[in-house]
Amino acid sequence: MAEIDTASFVPSLAIDCVVFGFHENELKVLLLKLTGVDVWALPGGFVDKNKDLEKAAIDTLEVRTGLTDIFLRQFHTFGSIARNDPNHPKFLIDKGLISEDLFDWFNQRFVTIGFYALVEYSQVKEPVPGPISEACEWCSVNDLPPLMLDHQEIVEKAHKALKRELSYQPIGLNLLPNQFTMSELQALYETILETQLDRRNFRRKILSYGILKDTKKFRTGVAHKAPALYEFDVSAYKKASQAGLNMGW
């Protein structure tokens, strides 16, 4: 049962974190299974009165999942009246997840700030369930379990934000091996965008931004013609991240 010092938090304000994980051409999202019930949720929590919003999000993610050093980006504010379920506080109490004296706190209307991140999930430490959770797992974005409240909508909004990001920010650093083929980079984009891209157009666009270096090496041990290996020019990549791109996939 969770113990919460509600006096230390900003009333009616919450945080939900959508951590996407890319691995072997599959996109997943990190979810928590609530203890004793067949309901899953995003890692979330409340905003400490003495913390900046970004710091509160980082700390919330660590408490709920054990993950650290994850770059979180704010993407949307969820404030619809319809998102608040009047039966939710009683459900949490009946399942022994919170105590009865927290009913009034959980019964108030909450606006939640959404944060998202994209990681190579085999490269981050093993997530662990925090308070009121019995499991913390990577789930396919195309096969999500039943989610609490409006968390399905939050995941979908975050995925749309991630897709938009591909139009003005480079991605791939820390998501791919140090050296990779053009096909592997394209597969990353196609996995996130959920669409196929023309091979020649993709190659032309990516190379035009000057963020790749041709290593002059080739992938060996493949059945067909050995493909060229590339790596990111880290300095150019960071400059492109700061200046922005205009790619439009």
Judge: domain 6-165, CATH 3.60.40.10. Answer: no
Q: What is the C-alpha separation between 170 and 245, in angstroms, rounded?
A: 7
Given a contact cutoff of 8 angstroms between Cβ atoms, the answer to whether 170 and 245 are in contact is yes
pTM exceeding 0.85? yes
From the CB of residue 154, how many other CB atoms can be counted at a distance below 10 Å?
A: 24
Given a contact cutoff of 8 angstroms between Cβ atoms, the answer to whether 139 and 70 are in contact is no
pLDDT tens track, the chain, 249 positions: 667 889 999 999 999 999 999 998 999 999 999 999 999 999 999 999 999 999 999 999 999 999 999 999 999 999 999 988 999 999 999 999 999 999 999 999 999 999 999 999 888 999 999 888 999 999 999 999 999 999 999 999 999 999 999 888 999 999 999 999 999 999 999 999 999 999 999 999 999 999 999 999 998 876 678 899 999 999 999 999 998 887 777
Residue 110 confidence (pLDDT): 96
Residue whose entry in the numeric block shows the structure tokens 């996407």:
20
- Determine the residue type at 145: P
Residue 75 confidence (pLDDT): 97
From the CB of residue 109, how many other CB atoms can be counted at a distance below 10 Å?
A: 10
Given a contact cutoff of 8 angstroms between Cβ atoms, the answer to whether 145 and 194 are in contact is no
Length of the chain: 249
Residue 84 confidence (pLDDT): 87
Same-fold call for 6-165 versus 180-243:
no
The neighbouring-strand residues paired with 19 are 117
Nearest Cα to 120, choosing from 163, 57, 154, 71?
Answer: 71
Residue 118 confidence (pLDDT): 96
Tokens of 81: 């009246």
Domain positions in the chain: 6-165, 180-243
The class level of CATH for 180-243 reads mainly alpha
CA distances from 209 to 166, 206, 239 (A): 13, 6, 11
Residue whose entry in the numeric block shows the structure tokens 């700030």:
113
